Amino acid sequence: MSIPSAEQVAGLVAESIHQRGREPESLLQHLIAIQQKFNHVPESAVEALVGELGVARTRIKSAVAFYAFLHDRPRGEFDILFSDNITDQMLGSRRLMRLLCERLDVEPGTTRADGRVTVDPTSCTGMCDQGPAILVNGMAVTRLDAQRVDRIADLVQAGTEPVHWPGDFFRVVDNLRHPGLLLSAPDTQGGGLGTLLEKGADAALAEVERSGLRGRGGAGFTTALKWKLCRQARSAERYVVCNADEGEPGTFKDRVLLTSYADLVLEGMTACARIIGARRGFLYLRGEYRYLLRHLESVLERRRAQGLLGRDIRGERGFDFDIAIHLGAGAYVCGEESALIESLEGKRGVTRKRPPFPVTSGYLGHPTVVNNVETFLAAARILEQGGAWFRSEGTDKSAGSKILSVSGDVDRPGIYEYPFGTPVSQVLADCGAEHTQAVQVSGAAGETLSAPEFERVLAFEDLPTAGSFMVFHHGRDMLDMVRNFAHFFQHESCGFCTPCRVGTALLRDLVEKVAAGQASDYDLDEMRHVGAVMRQASHCGLGHSAPNHLLSTLEKFPESCRRRLRSPDYSPSFDLDAALADARAIAGRDDAGAHLEGET
């Protein structure tokens, strides 16, 4: 691909500024637009943005370096990213990537000399129920096989733009297998808002409180309390943010909710805005779901035309609220609410120290409610049907239902919704799982279950989950899962704190040492030690949960590692005193104080 001229870059930057404004918080959106146009962010674009936005050059360069979908060097005209989640690997994604690279004569991670194509692995793309999947210039291609790889190679060689590729390549289906309390009824428009305006914000908040709704992102903070705290915070401005950055491996429920239940999600956001007194909202859409952007923008436009967004919503004078979509650019850590807010402000998505919490000091320092897609959908249903209706399912501590993304060794992958309190065994039976060895609940950061635990139940008091449910039968090597997750966390660590930055790299290397048959019991103990330090000392939840999969596997599936040990009794030794000989010579010392006793 040819390098863009200064005039081309200046023209695109000017167009982006006209569309997105000059506020510094719009920086990431400008960078994404530039990346999409030129397949990288040219230096001239950086300089233009410095002048237009009034932000430091270092801030722009650090943002480009931080986000996986932004690059400072040209990518190929066809930028192809293979989803490298463990479920895609189980379906043969790595073999297919090698096949495509052979057909296109390109090495993974490099751009072909003619600038035509780049092929790389990427983190989970949220298509686990219809993988293997790839992104081609940001657009999802599903159900990949050898025949499709051959066809894609031909299309790339011919220079055929993806818009002219077979439409079936880009077909993404919902795979809604088991609808429940929230998903059985069709999407509605405005029912919850009508109830809110009829009864008032106080009564609506009381109804959400009565329902017992807790955040569906995994942590389970009480939704009504979060909204109440934000409402009580002293500020002239408040914001509502929908976290649609479901980057947890194995999770894809938000993709389905935004495709087929977008009105309910936006209605929940609008109701929240009325309750807390917000006038602006954002839907933070993960970069892997960029293909949904046009659909969501059309839903927003329709709701504005119907009087459900904008000024004087449903004829209520002073009820003004609108929503903008903010694209992410490939950063798992932005699923954490404070990192997401940093990204909304156009910065690197590094987690903030808390307190203060977003409900008192969030977007641009103003009180902000951040809930995920499923939570806002549930809130809309509650306002429509009532808190008692929601409490009719679930447990005392976990009201309502949970939506699961089921993938892996099952006959029927897809979306399943169950009342809280449902045992894991029920999900396995319904999705057609047989001879199951393990289930990974709540993604790479969650909990690994062995067969004796399959009667445990989905609930905040037992198995809290953001929604990922990955199944592994007895033919699978659990170390493959561990290796995949170890590489994932090392790649996705934001690098802010030493325990996570160094710990994820150490765990990855130790896992690879086990896989290579070079490890000993000493290395297994070192894994446990590093994992414990990360859990205690990391800055945010990513570092706290990154060792979970490894520590669980060492405990519940010990043979997956032990059978590969080079010598279980071997303990490495290193003569540290001898290694200090050069330092003693430089210092001119050879006294007893300059020596160490024994070996370490």
Domain borders along the chain are: 6-66, 78-173, 177-391, 401-476, 479-562
Average pLDDT on 374-400 reads 96
d(CA 102, CA 152): 12
d(CA 71, CA 39): 8
Q: Which amino acid is at 506?
A: L
Using 50, 70 and 90 to split pLDDT, how confident is the model at 579? confident
Write out pLDDT tens, residues 12-41: 999 999 999 999 999 999 999 999 999 999
The DSSP secondary structure of 204-234, one letter per residue, reads HHHHHHHHT-B-TTSS--BHHHHHHHHHHS-
Average pLDDT on 266-276 reads 98
Q: From the CA atom positions of the chain, what is the Rg in Å?
A: 25
Whether the ω angle into residue 547 lies within 30 degrees of 0, i.e. cis, is no
CATH topology assigned to domain 401-476? Ubiquitin-like (UB roll) (3.10.20)
Write out pLDDT tens, residues 478-498: 999 999 999 999 999 988 899
Angle between helices 27-38 and 43-53 (to 10 degrees): 150
19 CB neighbour count, 10 Å cutoff: 11
Residue with the larger pLDDT of the pair 569 and 584: 584
136 sits in the region (left: phi over 0; alpha: psi -120 to 50; else beta) called: beta
Question: Three-state DSSP class for 403?
Answer: strand
d(CA 523, CA 562): 11
Model pTM?
0.93
CATH classification code of 78-173: 3.40.30.10
CATH classification code of 479-562: 1.20.1440.230
60 sits in the region (left: phi over 0; alpha: psi -120 to 50; else beta) called: alpha
Write out pLDDT tens, residues 291-336: 999 999 999 999 999 999 999 999 999 999 999 999 999 999 999 9
Pick the range with the lowest mean pLDDT from 68-82, 441-455, 564-578: 564-578
Count the alpha carbons within 13 Å of 493 in the hemisphere toward its beta carbon: 27
- pLDDT value, residue 309: 97
Using 50, 70 and 90 to split pLDDT, how confident is the model at 599? very low
Using 50, 70 and 90 to split pLDDT, how confident is the model at 600? very low
Determine what percent of the chain is predicted with pLDDT higher than 90. 90
Count the alpha carbons within 13 Å of 578 in the hemisphere toward its beta carbon: 6
Mean pLDDT of the chain: 94
Using the structure block, give the residue that is written with the tokens 């043969």. Answer: 92
Write out pLDDT tens, residues 427-483: 999 999 999 999 999 999 999 999 999 999 999 999 999 999 999 999 999 999 999
User: What's the maximum distance between 2 C-alpha atoms anywhere in the chain?
Assistant: 88
Average pLDDT on 81-93 reads 97
The DSSP secondary structure of 141-157, one letter per residue, reads E-S--HHHHHHHHHHHH
Average pLDDT on 328-348 reads 96
351 CB neighbour count, 10 Å cutoff: 23
Average pLDDT on 259-274 reads 97
Average pLDDT on 171-192 reads 89
59 to 26, 56, 220, 459: CA distances (angstroms): 13, 5, 34, 42
**Superfamily per CATH, domain 177-391:** NADH-ubiquinone oxidoreductase 51kDa subunit (3.40.50.11540)
Average pLDDT on 44-65 reads 97
Using 50, 70 and 90 to split pLDDT, how confident is the model at 577? confident
Average pLDDT on 210-231 reads 94
Asked whether the beta carbons of 122 and 287 are under 8 A apart, the reply is no
